[in-house]
Amino acid sequence: MKAIIPRKIEEYCLRHTTARDKLLRELEKYTQRHCADAQMLIGPHEGALLAMLVRLTGARRVLEIGTFTGYSALCMAEALPEDGELITCEIKPERAEIAQSFFDRSPHGHKIKPRLGPAIETLADLPASASFDFVFLDADKENYVNYYEAVLPRLRPGGVIAVDNVLWSGRVLAPKKKTDRAVVKFNQHVRRDPRVECVMLTVRDGVSLIRKR
Ligand SMILES: C[S@@+](CC[C@H](N)C(=O)[O-])C[C@H]1O[C@@H](n2cnc3c(N)ncnc32)[C@H](O)[C@@H]1O
């Protein structure tokens, strides 16, 4: 992932953002040491943003698509009330296993309900009554529109979907590859959707906040 924001600005933002707990720092280090795709982890700045959003929206039911090693799930779970619940979807068992080992060590881990398998199937298998206050989309970009359409009917009015990588290292300005085009298509899809309002932020790789009207 190519950084969009100058490193020094990122570092300044982080120094002026409330510090995260020890377990999150350990998980970040573990992921960097043991996982080839460690750059996928959202990191402390975006993690703090997600936690803040969960708190501000008063969310009790959260859905995440794209667990990886569990960093973003732990950030959001920490911001949930004691009886809050976060369902997180991951397709790769080895990643879900690492995530679970960290959830087990967190005082907020009991709020997290991991689901293994293709997220689109997990969503289809949810009970008809399942609804969410806050959703974080951070998995395969080719399916972003599908995830969005599957999730929006389950989002309460006023609920928020946060979507990661909407700037895709800046490639949205000159899309060449299939994934570049998928991100552009998703951004256009949201912009034209009268059911929602959206603000795109330049945090890390771009984060869209989409509020259901
Ligand atoms: C960018 S990473 C998520 C990072 C995570 N949110 C964090 O901050 O630590 C995307 C994850 O989505 C998973 N993924 C990709 N396609 C998927 C699918 N169809 N269903 C469920 N998970 C999928 C990948 O295996 C990967 O672990």
If one counts every other C-beta atom within 10 angstroms of the C-beta of residue 182, the result is 18
Token digits of residue 153 = 């009917």
**Is 22 a member of any domain?**
yes
Q: How many domains does the chain have?
A: 1
> Sign of torsion, CA 136 139 145 146?
negative
What's the confidence (pLDDT) of residue 40?
A: 96
Residue 30 contacts by C-beta under 8 Å, 6 or more apart in sequence? Answer: 69, 98, 102
User: Is 32 inside any structural domain?
Assistant: yes
35 Cβ contact partners less than 8 Å away, ≥ 6 residues apart? 68, 69, 95, 98
- Binding site membership of 66 for ligand 1 (Cβ less than 6 Å): yes
68 lines ligand 1 (CB under 6 A): yes
Give pLDDT, residue 20. Answer: 87
Say if ligand 1 is within 6 A of residue 190 CB. no
Cβ of 71 less than 6 Å from ligand 1: yes
Beta strand 85-90 pairing with 61-65: parallel
Copy the structure tokens of residue 113.
Answer: 């309900």
C-alpha angle 158-69-43 in degrees, rounded to nearest 5: 65
Is residue 55 included in any domain, yes or no? yes
Confirm whether 2 is domain-assigned.
Answer: no
In ligand 1, which atom is closest to the CA atom of 143? 19
Position 3 scores a pLDDT of 87
pLDDT per residue over 121-144, tens digit each?
A: 999 999 999 999 999 999 999 999
64 CA to centre of ligand 1 in angstroms: 9
Q: What is the pLDDT of residue 2?
A: 86
Domain assignment present for 93: yes
User: Which of 34, 67, 120 is the pocket-test mutation for ligand 1 (most atoms within 8 Å of CB)?
Assistant: 67
Tens of pLDDT, residues 65-96: 999 999 999 999 999 999 999 999 999 999 99
Domain range for 182 is: 7-212
Residue 129 forms part of a structural domain: yes
Q: How far is the CA of 131 from the centre of ligand 1 (A)?
A: 21
For residue 27, give the CATH number of its domain.
Answer: 3.40.50.150
SS3 content of the chain, % helix, strand, coil (to 5): 50, 20, 30
Q: What's the pTM value of the predicted model, to 2 decimals?
A: 0.98
Instruction: Report the distance separating Cα 95 and Cα 3, nearest Å.
Output: 24
* 138 pocket-lining for ligand 1 (C-beta < 6 Å): yes
What is the per-residue pLDDT for 111?
Answer: 98
Q: 1 lies in a domain?
A: no
DSSP structural state of residue 65: E
| Spans in the chain with pLDDT lower than 70 | none
